[in-house]
Structure 1
Amino acid sequence: MADDDQLQRAEAIRRAVLGDAYVDGMAADSDPVAADFQAYITATAWGVWAREGPLSNRDRSLLVLAMTAALGRMEEFRLHARSAPRAGVTAREIDELLFQIAAYCGAPAGVAARRVVRELRTTPEEG
């Protein structure tokens, strides 16, 4: 796949998973470095999602959730937990993932992730 094709595919996947409103909001930042930074994030992080291979968007979403929880990056965990259904992840799968996070990353990571999931389920979606 050519670089431009992969970047376009990465952008499309990012929009499909996170939603146009989120991606457009990030692109609206007036900071002169913001556009370059967003292009970099799209090319690197979302470029991985655009790779050909055996992992589905669902698989990739579950992996991102596990990794962001393991790293204690709850803001990113929240973003991806909210977006996980668009990648094909069910609520039941997220519930089971919380047990995996607690077992392999420790109780504090599991508890923090569970708090985020509970909050997302009891708070209406923004936008």
Structure 2
Amino acid sequence: MSDENKAPPAGDYESGMVNRRRVLGDAWVDRSLANRNSFNSEFQELITRHAWNDIWGRPALGDKTRRFMVLSMLLGVKAFEEFVMHVRAALDGPPESRLTPDDIKEVIMMSAIYVGVPAANHAFGLAAAVLKEKGLLDPAP
């Protein structure tokens, strides 16, 4: 079998799933897996092996730094649905990698300069909705 046709190591998917559940939470991952079908199941396996094992499994940066990076990059490419998912995950994650509402605000503020005000404006609305849903949004001063 040529290198390009080799099956991935058996543990990559399982290790990726551990990381995916740690970062996104069991409920989100369970919903995602329940939505697998013959059309998208290979993609779910691919992102679990590569994004969640090969990248999130690297030891250098840690989950908290990766959370900051992911939120910023998602705003940069205007992937707002994924941004909301990662805002929720960042607020609910394990204490050592959890982001605060102020952390998320700072990501959006910086993104306004490097990504653009319209994207940041939209992101503030999306993040505020998540914060309100979770009871984390203080009334205006």
Match for residue 88 of structure 2? 82
Runs of 4 or more consecutive aligned structure 1 residues displaced over 4 Å after TM superposition: none
Match for residue 92 of structure 1? 102
Deviations 1:64-93 (A, max 9, x none): 100001111100000001101303222221
Q: CA deviation at 1:118?
A: 0.6
Match for residue 50 of structure 1? 57
Higher gyration radius (CA): 2
Matches within 5 A, 1:102-113: 102-113=112-123
Q: TM-score scaled by structure 1?
A: 0.86
Q: Which moved more, 1:7-16 or 1:57-66?
A: 7-16
Q: Which runs of 5+ in 2 are unaligned?
A: 1-7, 136-141
Q: 2:126 aligns with which of 116, 119, 122?
A: 116
Tell me the distance in 1 between the aligned counterparts of 2:117 and 2:66: 23
Q: CA deviation at 1:30?
A: 5.1
Residues 58 and 3 (structure 1 numbering): CA distance in 2 closer, same or farther, change over 3 Å?
A: farther
Q: CA deviation at 1:124?
A: 4.4
Amino acid in the other structure paired with 2:131: R
Tell me the distance in 1 between the aligned counterparts of 2:21 and 2:78: 24
Q: 2:39 aligns with which of 26, 29, 33?
A: 33
Tell me the distance in 2 between the aligned counterparts of 1:30 and 1:103: 38
Identity over aligned pairs, percent: 31
Please tell me whether the aligned partners of residues 67 and 90 of structure 2 are also in contact (alpha carbons under 8 angstroms).
yes
Q: Which runs of 5+ in 1 are unaligned?
A: none
Q: 2:65 aligns with which of 59, 67, 77?
A: 59
Q: CA deviation at 1:27?
A: 1.2
Residues 120 and 26 (structure 1 numbering): CA distance in 2 closer, same or farther, change over 3 Å?
A: same
Q: TM-score scaled by structure 2?
A: 0.78
